[in-house]
Amino acid sequence: MTTPLPTITFPNGRTVPALGQGTWRMGEDTADRASEIRSLNLGLDLGLTLIDTAEMYASGGSEEVVGAAIETRRDEAFLVSKVLPSNASREKTIRACENSLKRLRVEQIDLYLLHWRGNHPLSGTVEAFEQLKAEGKIAAWGVSNFDVEDLEELADMPAGSSVATDQVLYNLSRRGIEHDLLPYAAARSLPIMAYSPLDEGRLLPHPILAKIGRELDATPAQVALAFVLARPGIIAIPKTGSAERVKENHAALSLALTPAHYAALDEAFPPPATKRPLEMI
Ligand code: NAP
């Protein structure tokens, strides 16, 4: 019998495992396309149904890879894509979404995000998101790289409370959101998507991860992911184009860190004592 995966439920009731798949830098090199499609499919086989992409990634190339990967199994995937701030006006958001739908070759995006705040008024972006939802082109919408004050501003707008997630940078070396954004989101049952949970690989050489890994028969990547996954209300979206690493990252779901491990991690990567401005990559 296999243990059920920890899950996250979005405000519209859709539930996904707390580990998803990132796709930044996929679609950049056609030589990698087959292995990228293979790794996304293996992730789906293992139940990692949420796939995160964006119109920005490889200028649409990542969405095309995702579209190819899910072509015969659309219903198994929960697709997240993002509109660039420069495209996030009331009118252009609609077109950007329609272009993403074409590249993904699907009728609907499950969750559509504003990639980060730009110069277009947020109210216009939200109106466009609501129109896309009413037309069935997206099932839900959210934001990315929003700090607490941005979320508060959003909450005060008409339909602002329909926000379904905030996707932000979170990993052992970027713990600022533990001070304010995570408690804010938890109080509102707003799921947080943790991007770059391995800090784009920079975390992995840290000796404490190797030490804990030796004790648990785990890799540094698994320890770093287990730290993020242990927090309720968070979905981590590591990216890998390697099938072996998809299996490795998936196994992090069943890795349990002990209080002594958390203490050692806190010493190496101190939690925030005061407010830190939201970091982004
Ligand atoms: P990440 O997931 O922290 O790290 C990805 C890097 O780690 C890749 O170089 C990958 O290489 C490597 N890797 C993955 N698993 C590994 C393992 N088990 N062992 C060793 N190396 C491993 O960084 P990320 O791609 O920046 O973030 C994840 C996803 O979050 C992105 O792909 C994207 O979907 C999203 N994101 C969103 C934003 C935003 O502004 N909203 C910003 C950044 C990222 P290989 O592919 O060669 O395995």
What's residue 5's pLDDT?
78
Extract long-range pairs of 99-105: CB within 8 Å, 24+ residues apart.
99/55, 99/60, 100/55, 100/60, 100/63, 101/137, 103/55, 103/60, 103/63, 103/64, 103/67, 104/53, 104/63, 104/64, 104/66, 104/67, 104/70, 104/79, 105/67, 105/71
What's residue 3's pLDDT?
63
**Per-residue tokens: 152:** 């508060």
Closest-CA residue, ligand 1 atom 27, reads 196
Q: Is 220 in the pocket of ligand 1 (CB under 6 A)?
A: no
Query: Ligand 1 pocket test: which of 219, 239, 242 has the largest number of ligand atoms within 8 Å of its C-beta?
Result: 239
Q: Is 20 in the pocket of ligand 1 (CB under 6 A)?
A: no
Q: Is 35 in the pocket of ligand 1 (CB under 6 A)?
A: no
Residues of the chain with pLDDT under 70: 1-3
What's residue 2's pLDDT?
60
What's residue 131's pLDDT?
98
CA of 129 to the centre of ligand 1 (A): 27
What's residue 10's pLDDT?
97
